[in-house]
Amino acid sequence: MGEKKLHYKMYKDGKKFVFAAIATLSFFVFGGVSTVAVHADTTSVNLTAATVNSTSDTKSAVSSAATVASSSSATKANSTSASSSSAVKTETTSASSSSAVKTETTSASSSSATKADSTSASSSSAVKTETTSASSSSATKADSANATITNEHSASASNLSKTGAASTSTSTEVKTNAKYANSVETVDNNKRGNRENTHSINQSRIVKRSLVDPSAGKITINRDNFKDFFNQNGSAKDNYDQLTGIQTITNGSFQSGNISFDGSIDVRHNFEIDGAINLGQITSRYGYTGIADGIGFVFYKGERNQVGGNGGDLGIYGVTNAFGWKVDTWLNDSHHTNSGQNLKGDYDDGHQNPYGAFITTNKTGYGSIDRQSAKNLTRSIEDNKFHDVKFIYTANTKEFKIVLSTPDGDVPFSKTFDYDETSPAYYFTIAASTGILPTHQAFRIDSMTYSPIQKAIINYVDDTTGRTIASDSVTGNSEETIDYSTANKISGFQKNGYELVKDGFSKGATYDNNDTTDQNFTVHLKHQLTPVNPTDPQTPGAPINPDEPDGPKWPEGTDKSSVTQTVIRTVNYLDKQTGKVVAKQVTEQVTYNRTAIVDKVTGQIIGYSTTGGDTVDQTDGDKAWTAVDNKSDWDSVTSPDLSSKGYLAPDLATVAQQTVTPGDKDVTVNVYYDHDVVPVNPTNPQTPGTPINPDDPDSPKWPAGTDKNSLTTDVHQTIHYQYGDGSQAAPDKTDSTTFDHQVEIDKVTGEIVKDDGWTAENGKTSFDSKNSPVIPGYTASKPASDPVDGLTQDSKDNVQTIVYAKTPVAGGNVTAKYVDENGNPIADDVIASGNVGDPYSTTQKDVPGYTFKEVQGNPTGSFTDQDQTVTYVYTKNPATDNNGGTGPNQPGKPGNGTDTGNPSSNQPGNPSQPSNATNNGVINTSTNTGSKVNNGAVNSPELPQTGENNSQSQTMSFIGILLAMFGSLLGFLGIKKRRND
């Protein structure tokens, strides 16, 4: 029977869309197939379609917006075509009667059960559904945990289609950068790792795989069973062509899609993936030209179905602890030249597009480009054609090798895959996304061979919070016993405050043979509660279980001060000036207790018990207090009298009664006593060292400075009258004044707290001047004493001395005369005058041509009432001969001086020897002209008077005669010697 088809193809050209309607009339001969015309937004019915009897719920019901004319099939709303053998894919230039083609419509084939919201199905396919019914010719997989898959081998050789993957939307949300003018909604893949299997451990779960080699433990995936192992998400959903093995990931602008591998790859064994990638071709839109973003392959552990960020993240950045490889077709540099996207990893600086590189991510998902493996690719690879790619993993060397075929030849990439050896089960996702530029990006599966590994997950659930508090995963081979025990884990939780509710893991359980679904077991626990009260307080911060120092700690609020509240009033009696305690302190208290209930797991107080039990009956801690002995107030207190200790009355005579309620703070009442002060002065002196308060012998003592002597002082004046020799000339005159002192004494401390200062009695602060007495014949040094003003208590006694001297009388003159031996004056007289008794002194002069001989009279002495004379006698120096000598001149001989008649003159040529002698102060000088005259003043005895010193004069005359004779002899001998010569 022939079929007529109408194709619509949409071309992208700027902001406009041109629709080309291409009508093709095709006649196909196929048993029992009628010719049906299909129109957009219309529905058509295959009159020969098999009827599916369904009792599905609203999820599989036909949308209210659809118009369905078929009585034998369940059809999605807004579907536009139906065919018994093929579905039409839009944007495809050719169609085959046997191809599985994506369409914007929904089609249903005969003998199939179709899930609501599904976009395609082929004839004879077994389709997973969320309904509870299936046709007689379908193998239906139920989501019920109690359902058992049976008769799977009887299913058709075509796809076992699974749904339930996360959906995507071609969102029109606006993005700020040019490439992403409108954003693509992030595709959050469904996490399938926590779905529990049917726990019929001994029942074999058979999964249809077309190429399985059980003996070698390998599974091979190809185009026929591809959908059994991969989840389609986002724009990749329902975009797989089983006939070609092509999985379209994106095919327009602002799309994000991925396919995630459901199986578990045992990376302890080799695996290979053979296929091809199509990166699309360069397009232009809104002034931008290029191709974006590329395709990323990311391998990871943990949960299945993970994917990273869109755009430049290429589905890799964002997945934690992952290993990936990408072919990047859009440059995202750190300067945001072409895109404003903030990547979750390294930017593409230093590369050109397109390029390929390995990627690794850390525990936060931050991705790092392996610069050593990165290689730039030829732009000719962006030709909208498929280019072979081969993934080869060698387990014993951990080498991950990728070979990409390009028009310029094969490009190899290689890197060591340092996987987590403690968790060898890995999964992977292939992702791509687009921005403003519509890009066709696809992956073609040729084959994939890997060693499966089974995984069992044991979850430990906190029933108190409903959260999973721990999860262990173990891996092994199908049908093997799961090597795991919950005992240690449960024991550890019990040490941390848990108690076991139910252990859902059975010892001896075995792995199933389905590596696409994890086996899940649950262990249920709950929190232990314990009361904390005043009799059993705890130490906040200390371990609740002493054997687990790193376990939960006792919380704040469990120490004794937090479960028993004693409110205290303290009355202090204090010295107002020093703050010191002056009387015994009085304290009163009211005590309230409460019991806190502590969660031993969280280390938190969850409530309180007002009865002291372990059941919470009050969540407000402030309302959980109960008074001890029902006492809830403080009594009044009277302040003591401390006057005997030198204190005045207190500022608070009585401290009043007061009621105390829970939560009140401690109260302190201070009662102050001030000091009593007493003045002390000369009229009220005290005895230092005796008690100030007689009634208290231990009280402070009167301090030094409070006796009368310390409180009064005198300042005296004495005037002495004396002669020059210090003897008293007249009686002393005296005067005095008195200063009084007052201080104020602290009766508590015994200290002088105030000094009122000193005051002079009668205000007398000076001594007047006092006249000196008159003594005949004497004159006082001062006619009166000096007055003294500004006297203070610190002034020293004033002492003055006035000296009396005799009244002076003019004495006779003292005349110094200078004469030769004949009494002739040779220099001017010097006359000195003074008062009787005054000393005098005369001076010897240097007279040229004369030599001092003697002084007659007293050269020094005192003036008397008579004149006095002192005579200095000089000898005339002899003449000098031509030879420089002295002596008698010979008559008629030149050069001889005139003979002076001096018998001591030397003969010519015989110089005289000077001879000076001193006798009783009279200096005799020879006539030798070579002698020097003494110019200094000579103090000599008085000149001899008549009848005095006759013996001395005779002796001196005799010595002079001898000297003259000796000189004549020397002269004679000299002349004779010269003649003999």
Which own/partner contact pairs does 209-214 have at CB distance under 8 Å and 24+ positions apart? 210/157
Domains 455-527 and 814-974 share a fold: yes
DSSP string, 370-426: -TTT-EE--GGG-BSSEEEEEEEEETTTTEEEEEEEETTEEEEEEEE----TT--EE
The closest alpha carbon to 333, from 316, 351, 357, 320, belongs to 351
Residue 213: what pLDDT? Answer: 43
Strand pairing report for 355-361 and 323-328: antiparallel
Those residues with Cβ within 8 angstroms of residue 43's Cβ, 6 or more apart along the chain or in another chain: 66, 67, 68, 69, 75, 79, 80, 82
Residue of 139 and 870 predicted with greater confidence: 870
Residue 504: what pLDDT? Answer: 94
Residue 231: what pLDDT? Answer: 95
Residue of 137 and 723 predicted with greater confidence: 723
The superfamily in CATH containing domain 814-974 is Putative peptidoglycan bound protein (lpxtg motif) (3.10.20.320)
pLDDT at 920 over 90: no
Tokens 């030149």 correspond to what residue?
Answer: 894
**What does the pLDDT look like over 390-433, one tens digit per residue?**
999 999 999 999 999 999 999 999 999 988 888 899 999 999 99
Whole-angstrom CA distances from 252 to 11, 279, 297 are: 10, 12, 20
Write down the mean pLDDT value for the chain. Answer: 75
| Residue 397 burial by Cβ neighbours in a 10 Å radius (0-12, 13-18, 19+) | exposed
Radius of gyration of the chain (CA): 70
Residue 548 CB neighbours (<10 A): 14
User: For residue 78, which amino acid is it?
Assistant: N
The torsion angles phi and psi of 526, rounded to 5 degrees, stand at: -140, 165
User: Are the CB atoms for 852 and 934 separated by under 8 Å?
Assistant: yes
CA atoms in the 13 A half-sphere facing the CB of 351: 27
Residue 889: what pLDDT? Answer: 42
Alpha helices (runs of H) in 6-102, residue ranges in sequence order: none
Q: Which helix (H) or strand (E) holds 333?
A: none
Residue 151: what pLDDT? Answer: 33
Q: What's the rounded Cα separation, in Å, for the pair 776 and 436?
A: 140
User: For residue 740, which amino acid is it?
Assistant: D
pLDDT at 182 over 60: no
**What does the pLDDT look like over 612-648, one tens digit per residue?**
888 999 999 999 999 898 899 999 999 999 988 899 9
The closest alpha carbon to 589, from 671, 655, 666, belongs to 666
pLDDT at 464 over 60: yes
Q: What's the rounded Cα separation, in Å, for the pair 233 and 168?
A: 7
- Name the class of domain 455-527: alpha beta
Residue 808: what pLDDT? Answer: 86
Residue 973: what pLDDT? Answer: 53
Residue of 593 and 422 predicted with greater confidence: 593
Which band of pLDDT confidence, cut at 50, 70 and 90, is reported for residue 968? low
Evaluated on CA atoms 295, 299, 300, 306, the torsion sign reads positive
Q: What's the rounded Cα separation, in Å, for the pair 792 and 289?
A: 110
Whole-angstrom CA distances from 612 to 77, 113, 616 are: 65, 64, 10
Q: Which CATH architecture has domain 167-194+210-452?
A: Sandwich (2.60)
Of 52-61, 379-388, 692-701, where does mean pLDDT reach its minimum?
A: 52-61
Six-digit token pair at 832?
Answer: 């000195």
Six-digit token pair at 344?
Answer: 């979750």
DSSP string, 850-879: EEEEEEES-SEEE--SS-EEEEEEEEEPPP
Tokens 């249809």 correspond to what residue?
Answer: 208
Whole-angstrom CA distances from 445 to 241, 381, 386 are: 10, 18, 11
Q: What's the rounded Cα separation, in Å, for the pair 915 and 930?
A: 11
**What does the pLDDT look like over 10-48, one tens digit per residue?**
333 333 333 333 333 333 333 333 333 333 333 333 333
Rounded mean pLDDT, 750-760: 91
**What does the pLDDT look like over 226-274, one tens digit per residue?**
999 999 999 999 999 999 999 999 999 999 999 999 999 999 999 999 9
User: Are the CB atoms for 275 and 402 separated by under 8 Å?
Assistant: no
CA atoms in the 13 A half-sphere facing the CB of 419: 27
Those residues with Cβ within 8 angstroms of residue 684's Cβ, 6 or more apart along the chain or in another chain: none
Helix (H, G, I), strand (E, B) or coil at 971: helix
Six-digit token pair at 793?
Answer: 């208590």
Rounded mean pLDDT, 677-698: 90
Residue 548: what pLDDT? Answer: 87
Of 183-192, 581-590, 749-758, 956-965, where does mean pLDDT reach its minimum?
A: 183-192
Whole-angstrom CA distances from 918 to 216, 376, 923, 960 are: 157, 136, 5, 12
Q: Which helix (H) or strand (E) holds 966?
A: helix 950-980
Which band of pLDDT confidence, cut at 50, 70 and 90, is reported for residue 697? confident
Strand pairing report for 386-394 and 271-278: antiparallel
3-state secondary structure 593-657: ECEEEEECCCCEEEEEECCCCCCCCECCHHHCCEEHHHCCEECCEECCCCHHHCECCCCCCEECC
DSSP 8-class letter at 195 = P
Q: Which helix (H) or strand (E) holds 779?
A: strand 778-780
Six-digit token pair at 300?
Answer: 């990871």
Whole-angstrom CA distances from 72 to 47, 141, 220, 922 are: 9, 21, 37, 182
What is the end-to-end Cα distance of the chain in Å, rounded?
A: 195
Cα angle, residue 523 at apex, residues 520 and 528 outer, rounded to 5°: 155
The closest alpha carbon to 248, from 267, 264, 235, belongs to 235
Residue 775: what pLDDT? Answer: 93
- For residue 273, the cross-strand partners are 391, 448
pLDDT at 342 over 80: yes
The closest alpha carbon to 474, from 488, 489, 457, belongs to 457
Q: What's the rounded Cα separation, in Å, for the pair 551 and 528?
A: 14
CA atoms in the 13 A half-sphere facing the CB of 155: 26
Q: What's the rounded Cα separation, in Å, for the pair 488 and 353?
A: 54
pLDDT at 292 over 50: yes
**Would you identify the CATH topology of the domain 679-797?**
Immunoglobulin-like (2.60.40)
Q: What order do you get walking across the sheet with 454-462 strand by strand?
A: 467-476, 454-462, 519-527, 498-503
The closest alpha carbon to 374, from 390, 398, 350, belongs to 350
* Percent of the chain predicted with pLDDT > 90: 56
The torsion angles phi and psi of 955, rounded to 5 degrees, stand at: -60, -45
Global pTM value: 0.42
DSSP 8-class letter at 96 = -
In residues, how long is the chain? 981
The closest alpha carbon to 928, from 915, 944, 947, 939, belongs to 915
The torsion angles phi and psi of 386, rounded to 5 degrees, stand at: -85, 135
Residue of 900 and 283 predicted with greater confidence: 283
Evaluated on CA atoms 96, 102, 107, 111, the torsion sign reads positive
Q: How far is CA 114 from the centre of its chain?
A: 66
Residue of 467 and 135 predicted with greater confidence: 467
Residue 885: what pLDDT? Answer: 52
- Would you list the domain boundaries of the chain? 1-155, 167-194+210-452, 455-527, 531-640, 679-797, 814-974
Of 57-61, 212-216, 680-684, where does mean pLDDT reach its minimum?
A: 57-61
Hey, which bits of 877-956 come out as E strands? 917-919, 922-924
Which band of pLDDT confidence, cut at 50, 70 and 90, is reported for residue 335? confident
Of 277-291, 475-489, 651-665, 881-895, where does mean pLDDT reach its minimum?
A: 881-895
Rounded mean pLDDT, 956-976: 60
| Residue 500 burial by Cβ neighbours in a 10 Å radius (0-12, 13-18, 19+) | middle
Q: What's the rounded Cα separation, in Å, for the pair 210 and 811?
A: 168
Residue 71 CB neighbours (<10 A): 9
DSSP string, 456-476: EEEEEEETTTTEEEEEEEEEE
Residue 133: what pLDDT? Answer: 34
Residue 807: what pLDDT? Answer: 85
Exposure letters 782-792 (e unless 16+ CB within 10 A, then b): eeebeebeebe
Cα angle, residue 809 at apex, residues 807 and 811 outer, rounded to 5°: 155
Residue 163 CB neighbours (<10 A): 18
Residue 654: what pLDDT? Answer: 96
**What does the pLDDT look like over 788-823, one tens digit per residue?**
999 999 999 999 999 999 888 888 999 999 999 999
